[in-house]
Amino acid sequence: MNTSILVVDDDRAIRENLARYLSSDYTTYIAANGQEAFQQLNDHSDIEIILSDMMMPEMDGLELLDKVQAEYKDTIVIFITGFSTIESAVDAMRKGAYDYLTKPIDLNKLEITIKNALENRNLKSENTMLKQQIRENSIATSIVGESAKIGEIMNLIKRVSSTKATVLVLGESGTGKELVANTIHYNSSVAEGPFVKVNCAALAEGVLESELFGHEKGAFTGALFMKKGRFELAHNGTLLLDEIGDLPATIQVKLLRFLQESEFERVGGTKTIKVDVRLISATNKDLEQLVKDGKFREDLFYRLNVVNIVVPPMRERKEDIPLIAEYHLRKFCEIHNKRIRAISAGAMDMIMDYHWPGNIRELMNCIESAVVMTIEDEITVDSLPPFLSISHSKSAVPPQNLFEIEKQAILDALDVTRGNKPKAAKELGIGLRTLYRKLDQYGMKDF
């Protein structure tokens, strides 16, 4: 997408000529005064740069700058000044304007100033992204659990952390794959280095390639500057490729080459770049099946799968549920400023009985909502979401007669749809009213 520039000047010839000149590289808008400028900012959220005259009737440049900083703080402001207003232009820079140009405007200088401003902003956002990742990553590195399965995973993490081996983390959604990756990084020799994450499923193919490997200036329309990719940003650290099962075929080839040679080229570039990066990838997809189906390269699979950590679903380590539930209870009490002592035995039974298809993330959400809803000092059955009680009331004994089979089918449908009756009725192939009648008949009116 093109960068958009707003040209503000009360001299019509100046604003129109400047806008015309810039329109070959940028999308341009014009305004004759401060008021029009704000109208344009309001109408076009894509405006990234304001090129504005200093001396204008009603609202002068400094006032405009003040207002822009209050309402559109990410917008870059560059001033155009006559000889008489240089002093206020310098003042404006002190207040946060990016730069100023003197009239008559040297068009070459104008272009360079705009490009530098954009590059400067990109570097800043790169920096903010890295800092934010550091903050996020330092939060969650504690794996709670005492089951034999978690013990095995902790052992594996300890062993791989001291090496630079490529790790593939597998497991259902919400089981803690990212947490495992975090723990490996922060226990490794590159813990002080960058930890960069990419969600391969969240970006379109074209964007993903330049996001991972970077691009050279002019690599495609809109590539005004060289941009480093996440592989370069992760140099001397760890790169987590999340949702690796969604990696498009073209990028699989490029990743394979990186794993073989530790080098790549930026998109549109010829220079070979070498980086030292520990790679962790994660997915909830069955990668082996994807290989069989021809959707994931077998050679890449083997390269990624040097060490393999499979995080088991919640239902296979039920003994960890109380610890994890209590850990999140304490955490959410702190976040929401609540004093809740415990989870009642009845509520815990219900939590233990549920099959948690969304694993720890689902359990966490359930605890958070219970913490918010509870007014007592204990989480009871009543503060848990209703879909838990549906699965709890299901009998462990197989149904004996038609009556029980029907009742079980209804409970199953309500369980799968989390108590959504219209959906459950659809699932069962009956009308909503029939469902209500049957619930009534089976004494399950409250569901």
Binding residues for Mg ion, rule CB under 5 A, total: 1
**Could you say which of Mg ion, ligand ATP, none residue 216 binds, taking C-beta under 5 to 8 angstroms by partner kind?**
none
Q: By Cβ distance, which residue is nearest to Mg ion?
A: 178
**Residue nearer to ligand ATP on the CB measure, 363 or 390:** 363
**Could you say which of ligand ATP, Mg ion, none residue 176 binds, taking C-beta under 5 to 8 angstroms by partner kind?**
ligand ATP
Segment contacting Mg ion by CB under 5 A, of 17-25, 176-184, 254-262, 273-281 = 176-184
**Residue nearer to ligand ATP on the CB measure, 87 or 288:** 288
Q: How far is the CB of 346 from ligand ATP (least distance, A)?
A: 23
**Residue nearer to ligand ATP on the CB measure, 309 or 364:** 364
For 221, counting Cβ atoms within 10 Å of its Cβ (0-12 exposed, 13-18 middle, 19+ buried), the class is exposed
**Residue nearer to ligand ATP on the CB measure, 171 or 194:** 171
Q: How far is the CB of 357 from Mg ion (least distance, A)?
A: 16
Q: Are strands 378-379 and 342-343 parallel, antiparallel or unpaired?
A: parallel
Beta bridge partner(s), residue 198: 241
Question: Which tokens sit at 313?
Answer: 């679903």
Q: How far is the CB of 320 from ligand ATP (least distance, A)?
A: 7
Nearest to 287 by CA among 326, 329, 331, 241: 241
Q: How far is the CB of 153 from ligand ATP (least distance, A)?
A: 9
Phi and psi at 182, nearest 5°, equal -55, -45
Q: Where are the alpha helices (DSSP H) in 44-176?
A: 61-71, 86-94, 107-139, 148-161
**Residue nearer to Mg ion on the CB measure, 178 or 209:** 178
Residues that bind ligand ATP (CB under 6 A): 140, 143-145, 171, 173-179, 284, 324, 327, 360-361, 364
Output the CA torsion 331→334→336→338 (10° steps). 110
CA atoms of 48 and 38, how far apart (whole Å): 13
**Residue nearer to ligand ATP on the CB measure, 361 or 392:** 361
Q: How far is the CB of 215 from Mg ion (least distance, A)?
A: 26
**Could you say which of ligand ATP, Mg ion, none residue 279 binds, taking C-beta under 5 to 8 angstroms by partner kind?**
none
Segment contacting Mg ion by CB under 5 A, of 178-186, 353-361, 363-371, 439-447 = 178-186
Distance between first and last Cα of the chain: 51
Residue 141, Ramachandran bin (φ over 0: left; ψ between -120 and 50: alpha; else beta): alpha
Q: By Cβ distance, which residue is nearest to ligand ATP?
A: 176
Question: Site for Mg ion (CB under 5 A): which residue of 53, 172, 178, 216?
Answer: 178
Segment contacting Mg ion by CB under 5 A, of 89-97, 170-178, 186-194, 285-293 = 170-178
The CA angle 259-264-265, to the nearest 5 degrees, is 165
**Could you say which of Mg ion, ligand ATP, none residue 442 binds, taking C-beta under 5 to 8 angstroms by partner kind?**
none
**Residue nearer to Mg ion on the CB measure, 161 or 359:** 359
Cβ-contact 24, 221 below 8 angstroms = no
Q: How far is the CB of 357 from ligand ATP (least distance, A)?
A: 12
CA atoms of 102 and 438, how far apart (whole Å): 81
**Could you say which of Mg ion, ligand ATP, none residue 34 binds, taking C-beta under 5 to 8 angstroms by partner kind?**
none
Q: How many residues does the chain have?
A: 447
Tell me the HSE value of 150 on the side-chain side, using a 13 A CA sphere. Answer: 20
The CA angle 156-157-160, to the nearest 5 degrees, is 85
Beta bridge partner(s), residue 100: 79
**Residue nearer to ligand ATP on the CB measure, 111 or 152:** 152
Q: How far is the CB of 301 from Mg ion (least distance, A)?
A: 19
**Could you say which of Mg ion, ligand ATP, none residue 245 binds, taking C-beta under 5 to 8 angstroms by partner kind?**
none
**Could you say which of ligand ATP, Mg ion, none residue 188 binds, taking C-beta under 5 to 8 angstroms by partner kind?**
none
**Residue nearer to ligand ATP on the CB measure, 177 or 303:** 177
CA atoms of 327 and 317, how far apart (whole Å): 16
Cβ-contact 202, 244 below 8 angstroms = no
Tell me the HSE value of 242 on the side-chain side, using a 13 A CA sphere. Answer: 18
Q: Are strands 277-283 and 27-31 parallel, antiparallel or unpaired?
A: unpaired
Interaction mask 121-160, Mg ion, x per CB under 5 A: ----------------------------------------
3-class DSSP assignment, residue 215: strand
Q: How far is the CB of 150 from ligand ATP (least distance, A)?
A: 7
Cβ-contact 26, 3 below 8 angstroms = yes
Q: How far is the CB of 168 from ligand ATP (least distance, A)?
A: 13
Q: How far is the CB of 129 from ligand ATP (least distance, A)?
A: 19
Q: How far is the CB of 316 from ligand ATP (least distance, A)?
A: 13
Question: Which tokens sit at 158?
Answer: 């300890």
The rounded radius of gyration (Å) of the Cα atoms in the chain is 29
Q: Which residues bind Mg ion (CB under 5 A)?
A: 178
